[in-house]
Chains A and B, each alone.
Chain A
Amino acid sequence: MRLVRRIPRAAWICGLIACLNAVCWSLVTPAFQVTDEPAHFAYVKQLAETGRLPSSSSQETAAEEGAVLRALHQGAVRLRPQNQTIATQAEQEALERELAATPHETGSPEAGVAASQPPLYYALEAIPYTLASSGTVLDRLQLMRLMSALFAGLTAIFAFLFTRETLPGEPWAWTVGGLSVALAPLLGFMSGAVNPDSLLFAVSAATFYCLARAFRRGLDTGGAVAIGVVTAIGLVTKLNFVGLVPGILLGLIILSIRARRASGSSAWRPLALALALGFSPVVVYAVINALSGDALLGQVSWRASSIQSVPAEINYIWQLYLPRLPGTVNDFPGLFTTRQFWFDGYVGLYGWLDTTFPSWVYSIALIPTAAIALLCGRALVGARAALRSRAAELAVYATAAVGVMALVGAASYTVFPEVDAEYAQARYLLPMLALFAAALALAARGAGRRWGPTVGTLIVVLFLAHDIVSQMLVAARFYG
């Protein structure tokens, strides 16, 4: 409670802005027109109504949900940018008839791509689902979307707090970092939908904050409990969180070594506490799998056993993000993956990745991005002495970031070459939003003491403009 009271008012306002923005996105985006939303809805339905996890990754939805998808023409609109959502009162009345007539059946054992995910997000979403259980599928969906919007608020608050811990010198820069994350359109879009990414972003930002706090103040029992708890929450939120684990482990080891130098052997206790708390869900999961005769770590075990060629996979993952190295096989001929997968994907790829800006927008967006990168570089060069003294801390953040990227790359490699880059979606990098906030705050500081706040203001306005124009793009695509 004391910690909550210590959160600056500016951080709360950043959280409120992120939350309102995600609610706005939830209204702008049509029902079930966000990647995999029908599958995530089905998972919640199964968990809320039966108390059991989905048993199949089949795409077949329950009759109740399927009827709504048909009445909304979801299949014809999805991935068909030339088709819009329902447009007439007659179609609305047909939808309402469908909502009223379709019999309710309990549960939905098929949850498509969501079926393999851990249950925490879905368990939380079962609350709004149950609260709206007397309403229609659309009532339940909207209330669940509002729950996701709350997680956007948490993400912005933790991004603000991470910036405060990592760049303590200039308080105004914390607001630049926090506001930029709060207004990031991809955060609003994903958190305005039913998708576990919304909770993943929040718990990832919290993880970065807890690590930064421990680096600044030392690893005490409270800090170890916090790191352990966020790790446990992350691991039962979405499998992608596994990417952050190497960074967390490295951080805990470095922090423990530092604490040991200062206070002797008792410093290992916080480490043991953090590990025990953090990895307890993994142990429980492994025991359940062992008892039921499945692979000990489920999908992770399967993934580890499916690796064919480590050098080829490393080469693929490298090229998924960066230009290929001389003498290596070109896995993406004709593609500049950094720009086309990640930059363009961040600038604007909404709906079922079927809603894009005209090509020139992505080219124009390179200009402010280059300016921000230059300012960030300038700030880093100016602070190189401080960077050297914090090299270990930076290595932890870099390990976490590389872990997230490697996990996405490894998942994409499982379907390569049939599909070039199945998971090359910018949203999968948003667990690093806290680092993004710090980089933007650093860029503002890179403009110098005199011009920094002005540049910071321009960065915030840039994100605000990006957010509003993105919502207009989505509205034009689905309703125009």
Chain B
Amino acid sequence: MRRVTAALVGGLTLLAITIGLILAHAPMTVAGSDRPAGQPEEPIAASHEYNSYCQGGETLPSGTSALRVWLDTIYGPRVEVAVSSQGRRITSGERHSGWVGGSVTIPVKPLRRTVSGVTVCVSFRVRDETVTVQGNATPVASATREDGQPLPGRMWIEYLHPGERSWASLLASTARRMGLGRAAAGIWVVFLAIGLAAAVIVLAAGLVVKELP
């Protein structure tokens, strides 16, 4: 029984520390983007095989730790991204397959300084499925290139870095938003959810202590 209690207390303490670390962490915010505000995305290319799409004239903001690229598919393939300046790779990253939706976020190694005039190359290999590259129409000179050939537009890329505010400092605004779009809107939803989670923890811990020798 003593060992069970110790394991329970140790485990719950570790959980509390994990939650604390998550709350101390700052969520990603957009440091730079070539996505025009209010403009809907449009397909500029579709791929059924291995493809690499390169886009010049980009600016990599300092501290960028992930790139969000507008690729649309049902089951996303492994995606690699490489950022080059003057022909030299300055950072890169990859995202394993399994992402779903209209965009994919790829973690990259952050740089301390902002670098202008970089080229971002996004590559992936698909078979059977289709990956659509989303963006908006642009003149040929500034368009994204596939095997050196210009596409009808530029793909959207957002540069993400950790924001200045931690999740802990965003709790109030997150809770307020969580209370919206409900049957009976209000912050009570958050308190009820927290209460239920607490009840689950207390009941589970109590049952473990009672039933496990």
Contacts and interface: CB of A to CB of B under 8 A. Distances in A.
B117 interface: no
Contact of A472 (B22, B68, B184): B22
A403 interface: no
B11 A476 contact: no
Interface in B169-203: 170, 174-175, 177-178, 180-185, 189, 192-193, 196-197, 199-201, 203
Contacts of A468: 15, 19, 197, 201
A17 B182 contact: no
B115 interface: no
A86 B181 contact: yes
A394 B14 CA distance: 37
Interface in A434-475: 451, 453-454, 456-458, 460-462, 464-465, 467-469, 471-472, 475
Interface stretch (A43-51, A295-303, A350-358): A350-358
Contacts of A82: 68, 103, 158
B210 to A, nearest CB: 8
B204 A31 contact: no
Contact of B183 (A138, A175, A476): A138
A308 interface: no
Interface in A125-178: 135-136, 138-139, 141-143, 171-172, 175-176
A429 interface: no
Contact of A353 (B8, B95, B100, B103): B100
Contacts of A30: 181
Given A335-B97, A460-B204, A465-B18, A479 B103 contact: no
A23 interface: yes
A480 B27 contact: yes
A17 B205 CA distance: 11
B213 A476 contact: no
Contact of B182 (A31, A80, A465): A31
User: Chain A contact residues (Cβ within 8 angstroms of B): what range?
Assistant: 35 or more
A79 B184 CA distance: 26
B101 interface: yes
A27 B99 contact: no
A24 B177 contact: no
Contacts of B183: 135-136, 138-139, 141-143
A31 B99 CA distance: 22
Contacts of B99: 356
User: Chain B contact residues (Cβ within 8 angstroms of A): what range?
Assistant: 35 or more
B181 A480 contact: no
Interface stretch (A100-108, A206-214, A379-387, A412-420): A412-420
Interface stretch (B52-60, B72-80, B136-144, B146-154): B72-80
A161 to B, nearest CB: 15
Nearest to A458: B7
B100 to A, nearest CB: 4
B208 A24 contact: no
A80 B100 CA distance: 9
A472 B203 CA distance: 20
B37 interface: no
A359 B208 contact: no
Given A179-B204, A419-B128, 19 more contacts: A13-B203, A17-B203, A20-B199, A79-B100, A79-B101, A86-B180, A136-B183, A138-B182, A143-B183, A171-B211, A183-B204, A340-B96, A345-B98, A354-B101, A419-B74, A453-B212, A458-B11, A468-B201, A471-B193
Closest 3 CB pairs of A and B: A461-B11, A417-B128, A79-B101
